[in-house]
Chains A and B, each alone.
Chain A
Amino acid sequence: MSQELDLPPALRPEVEAARRHVSLSPEIEARVMAAVRRRAAPPQQRAWRWLTAPSLPPWSLLAAAAAALLAFVIFRPASVGSPGVASPRATAVGPESVYVRFILVAPNAREVALAGTFNGWDPATAPLSRADTAGTWTVTVALPVGQHQYAFIVDGRRWVPDPAAPAVDDGFGRKNSVVSVSAAQGRIL
């Protein structure tokens, strides 16, 4: 049996050739790590961490904690919407733009701002105000009709996507939220 299990002589040169070292593309590392960063804090985990963290978590956790923030972006004509924190809304202000109210529930945040393609990603132009003791933060901004990307900035350094809105890769391993404003339909998609 052992003789039969020796490598057949005719295969030896071919096996020698097959033993050559194989190196894969060095780009694998970047691709794997990009995927790892995206998976580092899935929404459910992020929400749980946000709700259970005894103190401010590090960046990786807080990026994820976005999902724990009950954020809503809802757009309705002004005559339909009712005032109040629980009813975020947008109001048409002209044929080309509407007011959109962004709401984020961030109980542990000291400050929250909104940055997006509509304000040159400058959070200083759209700070959110704390609306109640439950940690609800709101801001209303006028957005041109069209599609915009945005994120919330919590405590000046943590970029938090809106878990209630569609998201796209920002090209740097993180997500931006997307809002589509349509004056005709009065909806944010």
Chain B
Amino acid sequence: MEPTPEPSDGTVVRAVLTGDVEQYAVLVRRYKDRYARYASRMLGSVDAAEDAVQDALIRAYERLPQCRDPEKFAGWFFLILRNRCFAERRRDRRSNGLDQVGEMAASEGSHASLERKEQARSLEQALLQLTPEQREVFVLKHVEELSYDEIAARVGTGVAALKMRMHRAYDRLRELLGEPQ
């Protein structure tokens, strides 16, 4: 017996819009973790990322009739989550989660793991000092490993502007992390 193929995003979105609300759980399971790393690096903590992803999923449901291309739900949802992350960073810079960064490496105990944990902590702390735009381009390029073209398509900003942001992000990170210029 062949496994039943997973329904496409478009199929699920259309089912939800025609009244099968329970189908939305498919999208929740599909995207709950996909952008969790992006959100946690943007907001500085897993807890904050969890709140942001949850809010974004609820907001996406509320706005689902406005999703013009249901097959591209992923990109549309990412923009909702991105707006949520930016709004939070701008609204309350005190919630940067500096004291929570360590939980990203929770349950790791080896020396090497602890070293990585410290490295992640220092980078997270430095990233929190960047503007949301600089921080985002750094996270998408180096943590999510997207190309500049992919980032441009995702966030709707030109490649040249993204490279300028990255250039400034590097300068600021070198300064914050003590690397010689």
Give chain A's interface residues, CB within 8 Å of chain B.
1, 4-5, 7-8, 10-11, 13-25, 28-29, 31-33, 35-37, 39-40, 58, 60-61
Residues of A within 8 A of B104 (CB): 20, 22
Question: Given A22-B104, A28-B57, A32-B54, are A37 and B173 neighbors across the interface (CB < 8 Å)?
Answer: no
Main secondary structure of the interface of A (DSSP, over half): helix
* A5, A13, A15, A22 interface centre (most CB from chain B within 10 Å): A22
User: How far in angstroms is the closest Cβ of chain B from A22?
Assistant: 4
Interface residues of B in 1-58 (CB under 8 A from A): 19, 21-22, 24-25, 28-29, 32-33, 36-37, 40-41, 46, 49-50, 53-54, 57-58
A29 pairs with B163, CB closer than 8 A: no
A20 pairs with B57, CB closer than 8 A: no
Closest to A19 in B: B143
B174 pairs with A36, CB closer than 8 A: no
Q: Is there a chain A Cβ closer than 8 Å to B136's Cβ?
A: no
Residues of A within 8 A of B163 (CB): 1, 5
User: How far in angstroms is the closest Cβ of chain A from B142?
Assistant: 5
* Interchain CA distance A17-B25 in the complex, whole Å: 31
Residues of A within 8 A of B57 (CB): 28, 32
B21 pairs with A60, CB closer than 8 A: yes
B37 pairs with A21, CB closer than 8 A: yes
> How many B residues, CB 8 Å from partner?
42
B49 pairs with A24, CB closer than 8 A: yes
Closest to A41 in B: B21
Q: Is there a chain A Cβ closer than 8 Å to B93's Cβ?
A: no
B58 pairs with A5, CB closer than 8 A: no
B19 pairs with A29, CB closer than 8 A: no
A40 pairs with B53, CB closer than 8 A: no
Partner of A29, one of B29, B40, B62: B29
Binds A, one of B67-75, B84-92, B117-125, B150-158: B117-125
* Interchain CA distance A40-B145 in the complex, whole Å: 37
Closest to B36 in A: A22
B119 pairs with A14, CB closer than 8 A: yes
Residues of A within 8 A of B50 (CB): 24-25, 28
Residues of B within 8 A of A20 (CB): 37, 104-105, 116, 120
* Interchain CA distance A10-B33 in the complex, whole Å: 29
Closest to A31 in B: B54
* Interchain CA distance A115-B140 in the complex, whole Å: 54
Interface residues of B in 121-171 (CB under 8 A from A): 122-124, 142-143, 145, 163, 166-167, 170
